[in-house]
Amino acid sequence: MSQSKIFKNLAQHPRCTSAQYPQSTSMPSRRMKKTLIAAVGIGMAVALSGCNEDTGSGTDKDTGAAASKAPSAGSSQSSAPASPSGDQPLFSGWQTQTSQKHHFRYDVPAKAEKWKTLDEETALSYTDKNGQPIVVMTAAGNYREGGCASSPNPKAFGEAGKGQLATVGTTGGGKDGTLQENARNWAGNWGFAAYGGADHKPKIKVSEAKPWKHGGIDGYTATAQVTVTNHPSSCVPPKAVVHSVAQKLPDGTMHGWVIYADQGVPKALTDAQLKKIMSTVRSTGS
């Protein structure tokens, strides 16, 4: 199991850049564990990008302590109301997360269904070989935390290795690039960081960004399909999927909602379940 490590400050703010992922891209492969204000060391072999001001290369802006609250938002079709709003869950019994920082609100299933929402200020992060965060999310939630745990990366800390089958959260804060580029970059970056990193590059195919108009958000969504290439244990999934939603605020900053989920393992979220969660994503307003 991995050690626990808390960062007082989550690194320098990354610069937003243009899209780095063609429709089919080869990325790191081993499943890197997520961390609670901690990180997974992965020397990045590709230039990470995304309008993120929170860490190394595609994350949140004010992420800086052993806690960083902020709910997230999702994207997709679903049976939820066409224009969801408010801080109450759209589906009976679900839990609501709200990120005032990134202006997203979304819901996840009930605790009884093995979902856990984290404190809004808790930051989940992956780091590079120097220990600097490269991606960070806040206002997060985990699915089936504490399941089949493995620690394929010796540089994993904190929450890494607790066996989550899916994680969702919010990120962003920069102004560079377009919404389309950022939607693709966030999907690709998280697939890269969570499922391998530079030392164990997974194969990643990122879709073109598509308009996403739902819940008061006029943005874009993208999907990354990940094929994991390194399997140090049976706990590491063969595949994974990442969905992102990008929105632009009046001040010009771009913010994202991301969910990444193991696939091809017992209890993995289905496409229908992922879309239902994404359907709850809405804006918190100004």
For residues 80 and 230, which has the higher predicted lDDT (pLDDT)?
A: 230
Q: What is the pTM of this model?
A: 0.77
Read off the pLDDT of each residue in 189-209 and give the average, rounded to a whole number: 89
Lowest mean pLDDT among 94-98, 122-126, 178-182: 122-126
Tens-place pLDDT, residues 270-285: 999 999 999 999 999 7
Q: Comparing 29-33, 49-53, 228-232, 247-251, which segment has the lowest mean pLDDT?
A: 29-33
Residue 11 tokens read as 């690194």
pLDDT of res. 84? 54
> Does the pLDDT at position 70 exceed 70?
no
